[in-house]
Structure 1
Amino acid sequence: MPEVIINGPEGRLECRYMPAEASDAPTALILHPEPDKGGTMNNRVTYALYKLFQARGFSVMRFNFRGVGRSQGVYDNGEGELSDAATAMDWLQAQNPSSRQCWIAGFSFGSWIGMQLMMRRPEIQGFISVTPPAVTHDFSFLAPCPASGLIMHGELDEQVPPESVEKLVERLSIQKGVNITVDVLPGANHFFTEHLDPMIERVEAYLNDSINEDDFDPLA
């Protein structure tokens, strides 16, 4: 799990990067939860997503937003963090010029940043959004949502009730050919404390169903 330091908008960004064996393997960027509330790239949900994409044959990267861990800078309420994510994706794509797929995945705040990045980067083919903060953050920028993806949520999430996520999806303008799947995991709380493994299993099943036959399948 090699450590990588890249130049970010406010100085260095601390990253972990695992390249795939195949040169045309898909790429995935994983984004962590609220930096101002102790979220880091080592968050258990973020780490589990990273390991899942790695096992699935992706070249995968996670990193600390500015002001977290060894990343320089200070928390910027999302604007700067979006720039951090764009920089990380630039680096990831530069390392994988033959890749034919690009995915974004994030947990909580990370999912909000990831979906904003998706609006700016048409090469992103799919997304995994775990407990998007639909109560506290504005998702109106998804007009329309440009790529298909999975929203994963816990049935007993008290911080972001599942109904708020369902209302968010209902309000979204979704272009033709784009499908947003909402999967609510029974019994799970906001952090998937006792349900991390079944959550990851559902994300894996979604990935297996979503990789097009015409695209590179690292497990074929």
Structure 2
Amino acid sequence: MFRPRHACVAARWRSRDARSSRPVELRDRSVRDRHSGDARHDGVELDRDAASRAPSGGGAAKVKPKHQRLTLLIFALVAIVGAGLLASYALRNQASYFYLPEQMRDNPPALGQAVRLGGMVETGSLETLPDGVTITFTVTGRDQARVPVRFSGILPDLFEEGSGVVAEGALGADGTFVADNLLAKHDENYVPRELEDMTEHQASKMAEETTVGLE
């Protein structure tokens, strides 16, 4: 059946308009869905959830410095206690190797063990051997305790008979204390430098306590 040309053109435009109207409806629905009340409601709920989670993060940030301060305090206490223990051990270690003449007589150290001997240089006991560098003398203490000492080297300026001395060395097999170094004192205060802050009785007491285990 023959249709006029203008009728065909009109039919084509109607078909094209029908097809083009569908996407417009879809776009309109998508716009309505996106801007509907439900979408806004969901956004509000999300905002509320985010707001409720925010304080928890802030609380954790406030607790963290407290833990850091507590940790630093613990480390500081441990360091202080450790330093005190080391200082006490060092002082006792120095005292454990210091002998008075009566202690060396009654409880001598092991042969060859490095120790210190403190006492008075007996008057009339100082002798110089033929080599010109070796001397012998006697260190005295309480209860007429006497320990012979031999030393080779340069004598301190203050070393003389009747004065205090601290001899560093070891006890020999013949009972003579072989000194490697001499510390001269101008008076009877012959205790080592580490024990100078103590009284003579305290230094003697500590030496007695610490030399018991050296038998």
Structure 2 length normalisation: TM-score? 0.24
- TM-score for the superposition, normalised by structure 1: 0.23
Give the number of the structure whose residues are more often helix, by fraction. Answer: 2
